[in-house]
Amino acid sequence: MDDRRPDDAELAARLALDLDAHFERLVLSHQDRLYTIALRTSGDRRDAEELVQDTFVRAYRALAGWPAARIREVRLRGWLTTILLNAGRNRARVHRVPTTELAFDPGAEPATDPVARRDERETWARLLAGLSSAQRTAVVLRHVDGMSYAEIAEAVGRPEGTVKAHVHRGLAALRAALLAAEAPPEGLRAEEIPA
């Protein structure tokens, strides 16, 4: 049974017919979600951009070496996500980028950062960054990108139950971090709120 999204199944069929003619469509239809995943798991725009490009280059080279029948069957959404996550791990190893595994500490947040005050999305992004790598990845794939648990399990190579646990614990940690801040997520401290 084909449980792929219809547009992905159709795109895979096109890629199997003529990779070069349809690769641009693959890029255009997946670049936003891959960029979002890269940005929300790595935290750096420059890194995220390079990571997404690297992902597509790896995907192109793989597809170029596959027989048409294999390309037709590929589950693009999960497969591209796997490439992105693996490339990101390799990159972190090579460049020795310190991964954010620190416990969320509201006191250490730069509450005076004017950008953070203005942008609630930025606050949520920083909350996310406080999660463990496994939880953050699971939460981003499930709730930012909207993948199903089955898709995530396949993409990260872990059992579905483990993925669910990561998502639930990640969400719980985010809620706890919000409560711990005892302030609106803009990062305002109680004493700074005008009376």
The single-letter code of the amino acid at 165 is A
Q: How far is the CB of 61 from another protein (least distance, A)?
A: 8
CB 81 within 8 A of CB 141: yes
Q: Which is nearer to another protein, 4 or 33 (CB)?
A: 33
Alpha carbon distance 80, 54 (integer Å): 11
> Which of the stretches 8-16, 35-43, 65-73, 77-85 binds another protein when contact is defined by CB under 8 A?
35-43
> 40: which residues sit within 8 A by CB, 6+ positions away?
125, 128, 136, 140, 144
174 binds another protein (CB under 8 A): yes
- The single residue among 1, 3, 6, 28 that binds another protein, judged by CB under 8 A, is 28
Contact indicator for 150, 72 with CB cutoff of 8 Å: no
Which whole-number Å values give the CA distances from 140 to 67, 114, 116, 167, in the listed order? 32, 25, 20, 9
Which distant-in-sequence residues (6+ apart) come within 8 Å of 14 by Cβ? 21, 22, 25
Residue 28 host element (H or E): helix 19-42
Of 66, 79, 124, 149, the one binding another protein by CB under 8 A: 124
Q: What is the C-alpha R_g of the chain?
A: 19
* Binder among 1, 6, 24, 191 for another protein (CB under 8 A): 24
Provide, rounded to whole angstroms, the least separation between the CB of residue 9 and another protein. Answer: 19
Under rule CB under 8 A, residue 32 binds another protein: yes
Q: How far is the CB of 52 from another protein (least distance, A)?
A: 6
| Span near another protein by CB under 8 A; candidates 3-11, 93-101, 108-116, 135-143 | 135-143
Q: Applying CB under 8 A, which part among 20-28, 71-79, 87-95, 153-161 lies near another protein? A: 20-28
Interface residues with another protein (CB under 8 A)? 20, 23-24, 27-28, 31-36, 39-40, 45, 49, 52-53, 56-57, 60-61, 120-121, 124-125, 128, 139-140, 143-146, 171, 174-175, 178, 184-185
